[in-house]
Amino acid sequence: MLSGQQEITPWSGTASEEDFDYIKAQTGKVPAVRGFDFMFYTQGARDGRVAERAIEWHRAGGIVHICLHWKTGSTADNQAFSTGKTDFDLGEALTPGTRDHEEFVTEMDMVAGELKKLQKAKVPVIWRPFHEVSGGWFWWGAKGPENFIRAWRFMYERYTEKHGIDNLLWTYNPTAHHGGVEVWHPGHAYVDIVGYDVYPDKGTHPVHAEMYRRFHDFYLGRKPFALTENGGLPDPDEMFRQNAGWAFFSTWTKNFVTDPAVNHPDFLRRVYQHSRVVNRERVAPTLATLAPPSAGKPRRLLFLSPPAPLSRQPSGPQRIEVALLDENSRTVRDVSGEIALTLDPAPPGTPPLGRVKLVRGIALFEDLRPAIVGDAFKLVAWPDPALRSRGVDPQTGATIPIYEKLGAEFVSWPSASVPAESTNAPPAPAAEVDLADYATGRVKNPPARVTARTVDFSAPGSKDTEFVARLTTELLAPADGNYTFFVTADDSGELYLTEPGQPPTASARPLARCPGYSGDKKWDTFPEQTSRPVALRAGQRIRLTGVYRQRSGGHHLVIGWRLPDGTEEKPIPGRRLIHP
């Protein structure tokens, strides 16, 4: 694992070397990866020194990592990259002719000019734009995954095609929120590294193995994964013991590294002096011996996306990605061609799912809307005649079902609605709201504020307060064995399991419950958050109903499970959910 540290940027003070001097004084080591920020290159500001200092860092043997807190809009707020602090609208920015589009392109091109300085100096850059996107707290995540994906690809194509920039390692940086890994994914062709930003409780040093496995499973282990921002450093011994092989960490600035309550000097020394942590003094001679391997001739196709059901009426993006590989399973990026995607078996006249061109050796099929439904179809990728003439054969993928709908049904009610038949009943006090009434269906014809389908088994975000909400879905057990379910909620939540199509009965007991507030990544605040083991058969269909109570502030309901083989999915991903 490479060590890393974000430098202090001018908005935190001008002494950008303070944290590095502190680490050197405490450990005798210098971080391998240095985080820079182009924050002061937007809204008409010009820092003028980030690219130059990054070049100096590279020449000293270090690795360059750059993010962008992109200030936008007509406001002069110092936090103009935050949702609610800027009037900039990503949807408008993607619409030519608008004020926001003009600003979007102008500032994107200005940053490209700084990146070209690094390209000219032959400096490879871990490039992390649009970070923490699925959290929604930055403007680039405030308009949903579709707009973000369009923005990511717009920048990628403008930088690589218009500006010819080829020294960037494009780093996709989701959060654990709102289907962050899967739903916001821009496509394998547009991503080189996957980053995770996480700030654990003071004095703790978790290794975030759960998120690492989520990345690993989605990307089939074919990308490097990194802690692109962190507070408490991960414990290297635990990291390797739990097989959470983060490529590097990058501790955030000032108190996050210098506060002993966050990272005690003794722990800092243990990490930086650990035999499996690589610091700057080891980077330069190592990199000097490496050269990127060149791909060979195209030989076969590979489905990159995990096997997942498809829906005729999707609630979110449905994508399949197919890579062109050489004999050593390296992606062949410099060969053009087209790939078609079909279903087998399919009735005569069934149209193909799509036909797309290869981009950097990957065919990305999007907006898939199958014309048929059924329990078992095989995906088949067909190379065009030119590729077949070079020895690339059609490739058959996994067997998947196609359903009419996928996802979970989400409904919310204002807290004034009461579990009674009469619409004239007085509002129930907040303390008397019984979540079981909403789970069992005793609340009839409620004045719902939100009715939607979700992309995984978690509640969608909103700014609403004082409501009760219910999530309902069905799923198939993938294997025989015992399953354990988990729930985390704000302000409180419950989970019920029943037969397909049947709501919980009035006497039903929750399978798991969160009796009070628990952070959205906190699965062990209360013992009741973890269910008893539930024995299920492979292919058995069950119905899950989650309910939660929200008063004020943030809110969430997230439901996960542990499979018989020990794999944990938190939340349960959308590819497993069948809309009831």
Catalytic residues: 132, 229
Phi, psi of 119 (to 5 degrees): -65, -45
Q: Among candidates 129, 141, 124, which has minimal Cα distance to 195?
A: 129
- The residue among 219, 193, 163, 220 whose CA lies nearest residue 4 is 193
Q: Do 568 and 530 meet the contact criterion of CB atoms below 8 Å apart?
A: no
Of 400, 396, 377, which Cα lies nearest the Cα of 578? Answer: 400
Cβ neighbours, 10 Å, residue 48: 10
Look at the block and give the residue holding tokens 């974000």: 6
For residue 205 the two structure tokens come to 């040093």
Beta bridge partners of 194: 172, 225
Amino acid present at 300? R
Contact 410, 473 (CB under 8 A): no
C-alpha 470/C-alpha 485 separation (Å) is: 17
Q: In sequence order, what DSSP letters do the residues of 80-143 get, joined into one string?
A: TTBTTS----HHHHTSTTSHHHHHHHHHHHHHHHHHHHHHHTT--EEEE-STTGGGS-BGGGTT
- Quote the tokens at residue 287: 């990199």
CA dist 21 and 253 (Å) reads 12
Using alpha carbons only, how large is the chain's radius of gyration in Å? Answer: 25
Structure tokens at 329: 């399973």
Q: Containing H/E element for 255? A: helix 255-258
Q: Is 97 left (phi over 0), alpha (psi -120 to 50) or beta?
A: left
CB atoms inside a 10 Å sphere around CB 53: 16
Spell out the residues 6+ positions from residue 147 whose beta carbon is closer than 8 angstroms to its own: 90, 91, 94
Number of other residues whose CB lies within 10 A of the CB of residue 391: 11
Q: Collect all residues with Cβ–Cβ distance below 8 Å to 324 and sequence separation of at least 6.
A: 298, 300, 301, 331, 332, 335, 337, 358, 361, 362, 363, 383, 387, 392
Q: Which of 263, 188, 258, 260 is nearest to 223 (CA)?
A: 188
